Amino acid sequence: MNSREGANAGRLSGRRAIVTGAAGGIGAALARGIAREGATVACVDINEDGAKEVAASIGEVGGRAISVVADVTDLDQVERMHAAASDAFGGVDLLVANAGGSRGEMVPFLELESPLWHRMIDRNLTSVYYCGLVCARQMASNGGGAIVVTSSQLSEVARPGMGHYAAAKGGVRQLVKAMAVDLAPHGIRVNAMAPGPTLTPGNRAMFERPEVAATHQHTIPLGRVADPEEMVGAVVYLASEEASFTTGTTIFVDGGYTIL
């Protein structure tokens, strides 16, 4: 058990969660983090081996998790994902809609072709709509729940070559507000956690390029990129009863990136 475990154990005790994009990066940290707080977790990803590995690592430290393979850009697969988690746990009352990312596909607006636009919107925005819809329908009929979406610093600011991603994450920010309004009467809170640049296996090579590292130095007031573990606290808070009066908001965990 590491030093982060134990101190606040149990803030999500009894919660039945789905975490999408749980095979690696921020999603793996979130899945392990909410499991440490007592939630039962369905680790969902298109990466079957990765999702299995994360679920197993949760089991090894005494948590309860299953892995589910699903592409969250496909509504049928999202419905099957929900059914798998619901069958295993007897319901779902926490959705962490984290799957997404830019995959480094930066393209100046004048060169932005329609297939890439749609791929980015599907992966980062439509996926939130699909997962949110399917989970919220069941939560509404079971007395409520919480939804936390992984957004981005680019829901607030723009950077060169990121129009498609910024539009998707800006859409997430508004969708979270709109869902919060419509779902409040059903006892469902909806919020977002917006990471700043966060080091993951997938972006390590890009982040270590000297020009990218130099840019991060002067665009992030805290002067460094984040570790995925640093995203866990805000998500646990938003998912927990400590945030019982918080809905429709985005917490930026970005080292101050959006200040400048």
List the catalytic residues: 165
d(CA 70, CA 26): 18
Give the chain's largest Cα–Cα span.
Answer: 52
Q: Output 51 or 243, the one with its CB closest to ligand NAD.
A: 51
From the CB of residue 244, how many other CB atoms can be counted at a distance below 10 Å? 9
Residue that has been written with the tokens 């707080």 in this structure = 37
Is residue 50 close enough to count as binding ligand NAD by CB under 6 A?
yes
> Could you tell me the sign of the dihedral formed by the alpha carbons of 34, 49, 201, 124, in that order?
negative
Is residue 200 close enough to count as binding ligand NAD by CB under 6 A?
yes
What tokens appear for 191 in the block? Answer: 């919020």
What tokens appear for 80 in the block? Answer: 């099957």
Number of residues that bind ligand NAD (CB under 6 A): 29
Distance of CA 62 to the CA centre of its chain: 23
CB of 65 to ligand NAD, least distance (A): 15
129-168 footprint of ligand NAD as x/- string (CB under 6 A): ---------------------x-xx---------------
Per CB under 6 A, which region of 96-104, 131-139, 173-181, 236-244 contacts ligand NAD? 96-104
Give the HSE-up count for residue 34: Cα atoms under 13 Å, Cβ half-sphere.
35
12-31 footprint of ligand NAD as x/- string (CB under 6 A): --------xx-xxxxx----
Is residue 126 close enough to count as binding ligand NAD by CB under 6 A?
no
CB of 254 to ligand NAD, least distance (A): 8
> Could you tell me the sign of the dihedral formed by the alpha carbons of 194, 195, 196, 202, in that order?
negative
Positions touching ligand NAD (CB under 6 A) are: 20-21, 23-27, 45-47, 50, 71-73, 98-101, 123-124, 150, 152-153, 195, 197-198, 200, 202-203
